[in-house]
Amino acid sequence: MWYVIQVRSGTEELIRKQCEKLVGGKALEKCFIPYYEEMKRYQGEWHKEKKILFPGYVFAVSEDPEALFLELKRVIGLTKLLNTDHIIAALTPKEVEFLIDFGQEEQVVTMSMGMIVNDRVTILDGPLKGREGLITRIDRHRRKAWLEFPMMGCLQRVEVGLEILEKKKKGDV
């Protein structure tokens, strides 16, 4: 099962390393942070960078939530393990499937490529292909898209990289 650990923003990588070092055995199979790729322009060129997809959260895979909860008390700087009604809540199988499909095995959401035709976005390639309905906003200048989808009991708003290759109107050929 996949669980979500809430941490202070900016300390995600530190907490992930502590979890891998201090928590072991059957309590923690894997600990990771989902990232997304974005393009940044500096020194006159575009550079691909990685940013945290869910700032303030670290994901843990465990088959024993009670052991995970007890072992995580040894981690310094941990805020809390997300729960519902005082029960440690795992991500649903649908949410896990979405994250695996979206970020692949390495949990990095790569840049998507798309175009705008008649004010409608069409994704040609990348993890956003077929998920155009999740896009709420696009910034063509910053090469970003903002998505909204239900996860962890609420509506999550995340940024991902999106390159719009062209924009066409009805009469354009």
pLDDT at residue 148 in the model: 94
* DSSP helix/strand/coil, 73: coil
In a domain, 123, yes or no: yes
Within-domain flag for 35: yes
> 3-class DSSP state for residue 51?
strand
Low-confidence ranges of the chain (pLDDT < 70): 79, 82-87, 171-173
Alpha helices in 6-113, H assignment, sequence order: 12-22, 65-72, 93-103
Q: What is the CATH number of the domain that holds 78?
A: 3.30.70.940
Confidence at residue 89, expressed as pLDDT on a 0 to 100 scale? 76
pLDDT digits (tens, 9 = 90+) for 42-70: 999 999 999 999 999 999 999 888 888 88
pLDDT at 87: 58
67 within domain boundaries: yes
Domain limits at 40? 2-168
* pLDDT for the residue 151: 87
Torsion of CA 146, 38, 103, 122, to 10 degrees: 50
Cα 101 to Cα 42, 43, 92, 95: the distances in Å are 31, 34, 14, 10
Count: domains in the chain = 1
Is 62 in contact with 1 (CB distance < 8 Å)? yes
Residue 134 lies in a domain: yes
Q: What is the pLDDT of residue 147?
A: 95
User: How many Cβ atoms sit within 10 Å of the Cβ of residue 59?
Assistant: 20
In a domain, 155, yes or no: yes
Q: Which of 42, 52, 17, 47 is nearest to 31 (CA)?
A: 17
For residue 173, tell me if it sits in a domain: no
Residue in this structure with the two tokens 């199979």, named with its chain if needed: 29
Helix (H/G/I), strand (E/B), else coil: 97: helix
98 found inside a domain: yes
pLDDT of residue 23: 86
